[in-house]
Amino acid sequence: MKHHLLTLCALAALAPAAVGQELQDTVSQHEFPGLQLLPAGSKISGISLTRYEQHRVSALLISKLMEIATRSEVYFTGIRANLYAANGETTTITCPEAEYSFRTSVVQSEEITEVDSERFSASGKGVIFSTANNKGFLKGAVRTTVKNSAFNKETSEK
């Protein structure tokens, strides 16, 4: 009886900690579940993340290094993101460093960011991009070049 009472007391003492731990480890809708496996400060090199929409690859992010700040924020170094439109066009975005929030679905950078597609190329002093709606803008003094091939293609199709 004494042994069972001691076991019961030990379980009661551990129960609140176990319940608290379980609640802490629950993934909210604003967190990336895979990040639970690694503590904040973890660094992963050579990553590739693919996004699908309706059984079609819509985006591919390649980064030399990803650092986990929290379960809902990560930092990327050496980024190349390819966005694949349904019409077959590809837009490539490159940036030395950026941070991403799973909570807001926004990528932000204060570094020179370049955008290149079949129709245009652009460069700015930073970027804010929403992965939720695939829209964003370049910051600072932006330089944009519209490519002649885009005009020639549209003219010949008419």
Asked, for residue 95, whether it belongs to a domain, the answer is yes
Per-residue pLDDT, 37: 82
Residue 44 inside a domain? The answer is yes
Would you say residue 54 lies in a domain?
yes
Q: How many domains is the chain built from?
A: 1
Three-class secondary structure of residue 34 per DSSP: helix
Supply the CATH number for residue 64's domain. Answer: 2.60.450.10
**How many Å separate Cα 121 from the centre of its chain?**
22
Assess whether pLDDT exceeds 50 at residue 91: yes
Q: What is the average pLDDT value for the chain, to the nearest integer?
A: 80
Alpha-carbon distances of 33 from 24, 26, 36, 50, rounded to whole Å: 13, 9, 6, 15
Q: Is residue 16 part of a domain?
A: no
Supply the range of the domain harboring residue 99. Answer: 33-157
Nearest partner of 50 among 62, 68, 64, 37, judged by Cα: 62
For residue 89, being part of any structural domain is answered with yes
Query: To 10 degrees, the CA torsion angle through 141, 146, 147, 152?
Result: 180
Query: Is position 58 within any domain?
Result: yes
This prediction's pTM: 0.72
In a domain, 130, yes or no: yes
